[in-house]
């Protein structure tokens, strides 16, 4: 029995391809069938609480859903679902996938995808490595690329999705240590590369049992980390739409034909006011949600705080001021247009009166 376990962390999701219409039961069956069709995969286990799900319940994925890999929504979202399996990846295939065998010292890996309250979290465990000098975070990359390659060969409505950073920027090790006072302690050594996280445990039947209990207590923290990352991706996509509209306004301004583009400018300004309003509202609400959810983070608060600190502060106020500037210019054009029309109309009226009385 191993006295140490090395594993990496990431975010994998067995989603559904856009336009799929199925049921929860068929979704579970399709995952099972798809994984079974890959000869290198064994020990497949799909765990869920049957009382929590109606297997006949329909699941429909809209045709425009991009999936979490591209900033789309997490669908289907099934909390407390766990999908686990073992993968055998020979050294030859590791090299074909441009991975370095010395990072792993093994050809066998145990994968566990856990659907937390927030986002799914995958752990990739190295099984019986020949030495302890390994980089388990790299195993997440190896398994990710292996699954992408193999699943692309299979006709299925399952869509394998990955959310970065996968791997999580740390190598994890669980070790037995009878000298500690608590059931487990976590030591984080920060480096310029990937951190080293050593989890010492005691009072468990073995280190495998310790891994299960520790993950049960910490997986939600990783799930929250990945939800933060995903929300950044969603916000970035929404902001890109705002930037595209601003770029269009600049091009119209450079064109100089304000009368010609009056109605087009009006349409873009209306869209901008709506989009920036919704964007600001979402940012305010989500910031409040972050602060509330952070209270439940205890073991890996370092990484959650780091992710929060790196969130982009979008220049919503500056953009709003810019939109108002364009709005004022549009009004000036409107006033000028009305003046010209009034002048022309007045001239025509005067000409008609003169002609009539002459």
Q: What Cα–Cα distance (Å) separates residue 125 from each residue in 150, 214, 279, 283?
A: 20, 14, 40, 36
Report the 10 Å Cβ neighbour count for 73.
15
Distance linking the first and last C-alpha atoms of the chain: 115
Nearest-angstrom CA–CA distance, 290 and 215: 22
What are the pLDDT tens digits along the chain (358 aa)? Answer: 567 899 999 999 999 998 999 999 999 999 999 999 999 999 999 999 888 888 999 999 988 888 898 888 899 989 899 999 999 999 999 989 888 878 888 999 999 999 999 999 999 999 988 887 889 999 999 999 999 999 999 999 999 999 987 789 999 999 888 888 888 899 999 988 899 999 998 877 678 888 888 999 999 999 999 999 999 989 998 999 999 988 888 787 776 665 566 777 788 888 888 899 999 999 999 999 999 999 989 999 999 999 999 888 898 888 888 888 877 765 454 443 444 344 444 444 444 445 444 5
Nearest-angstrom CA–CA distance, 287 and 285: 6
What per-residue confidence (pLDDT) applies to 41? Answer: 97
Q: Give domain limits for the chain.
A: 4-221, 228-357
Residue 138 parent element (H or E): helix 136-151
pTM comes to: 0.85
Tell me whether the omega of the peptide bond preceding residue 164 falls within 30 degrees of 0, making it cis: no
**According to DSSP H, which parts of 310-357 are helical?**
316-357
Q: What Cα–Cα distance (Å) separates residue 96 from each residue in 60, 89, 122?
A: 37, 11, 23
Tokens for 95, please give them: 């090299």
Nearest-angstrom CA–CA distance, 47 and 52: 12
Nearest-angstrom CA–CA distance, 215 and 124: 12
What per-residue confidence (pLDDT) applies to 147? Answer: 96
Residue with tokens 């070790």: 175
What per-residue confidence (pLDDT) applies to 329? Answer: 66
CA angle 116, 83, 20 (to 5 degrees): 90
In this structure, are strands 184-189 and 195-201 parallel, antiparallel, or unpaired?
antiparallel
């Amino acid at each position: 029995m191993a006295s140490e376990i090395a594993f990496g962390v990431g975010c994998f999701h067995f989603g559904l391809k856009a336009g799929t219409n199925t049921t929860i039961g068929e979704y579970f069956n399709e995952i099972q069938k798809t994984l079974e069709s890959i000869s290198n995969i064994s020990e497949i286990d799909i765990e869920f609480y049957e009382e929590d799900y109606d297997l006949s319940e329909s699941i429909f994925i809209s045709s425009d859903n991009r999936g979490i890999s591209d900033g789309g929504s997490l669908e289907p979202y099934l909390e407390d679902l766990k999908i686990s399996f073992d993968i055998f990846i020979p050294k030859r295939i590791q090299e074909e996938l441009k991975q370095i065998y010395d990072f792993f010292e093994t050809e066998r890996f145990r994968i566990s995808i856990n659907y937390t309250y927030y986002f799914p979290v995958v752990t990739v465990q190295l099984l019986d490595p020949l030495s302890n000098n390994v980089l388990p975070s790299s195993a997440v990359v190896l398994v990710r690329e292996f699954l992408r390659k193999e699943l692309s060969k299979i006709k299925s409505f399952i869509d394998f999705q990955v959310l970065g950073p996968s791997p999580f920027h740390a190598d994890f090790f669980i070790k037995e240590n009878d000298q500690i006072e608590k059931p487990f302690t976590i030591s984080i050594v920060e480096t310029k590369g990937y951190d080293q996280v050593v989890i010492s445990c005691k009072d468990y039947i073995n280190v495998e049992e310790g891994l299960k209990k520790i993950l049960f207590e910490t997986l939600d923290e990783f799930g929250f980390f990945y939800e933060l990352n995903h929300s950044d991706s969603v916000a970035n996509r929404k902001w890109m739409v705002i930037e595209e509209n601003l770029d269009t306004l600049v091009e119209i301004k450079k064109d100089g034909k304000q009368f010609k583009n009056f109605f087009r400018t009006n349409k873009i300004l209306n869209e901008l006011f709506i989009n920036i309003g919704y964007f600001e509202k979402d940012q305010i609400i989500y910031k409040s949600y972050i602060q509330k959810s952070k209270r439940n983070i205890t073991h890996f608060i370092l990484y959650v705080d780091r992710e929060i600190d790196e969130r982009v502060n979008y220049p919503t106020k500056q953009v709003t001021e810019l939109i108002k500037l364009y709005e004022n210019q549009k009004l000036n054009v409107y006033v000028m247009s009305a003046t010209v029309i009034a002048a022309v109309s007045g001239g025509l009226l005067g000409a008609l009166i003169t002609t009539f009385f002459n």
